[in-house]
Copies of this chain bind each other. A is one copy, B any other.
């Protein structure tokens, strides 16, 4: 599919799709006329990238973790250098910390909202 369709289906500006490609997060084939051509799987990948970006990961890190998420895992074993493994472990831990922080704060918000809808009287 071309960039316009990918843009619509992922609700992502074309500008950013080109940027993600520039950063090495997605790839595209080129048609004879120079147009980018994406395959179906790119849709999910873009959604995933956007989610991770929104969760505070920079493209540099996203680029490193994306290959681990592909299905035929065995293919990627050769790239598994010790440094890479260390990076992944570090990022995994950092994500866990982010999750903990988000969950705690979200729960506090929920609690607050509950208290509010129950009326000020119920809070004491």
Contact = CB atoms under 8 A, between A and B. Distances in A.
A67 B109 CA distance: 10
Interface string A74-107: 1011001000010011011001111101110110
Contacts of A105: 48, 51-52, 65, 69, 95
A83 to B, nearest CB: 13
Interface of A is mostly: helix
Query: How many subunits of this chain does the assembly comprise?
Result: 2
A19 interface: no
B65 A120 contact: no
Given A80-B116, A101-B51, A110 B92 contact: yes
A87 to B, nearest CB: 10
A98 B101 CA distance: 11
A123 B73 contact: yes
A34 interface: no
Given A92-B109, A95-B106, A113-B85, A124 B55 contact: no
A35 interface: no
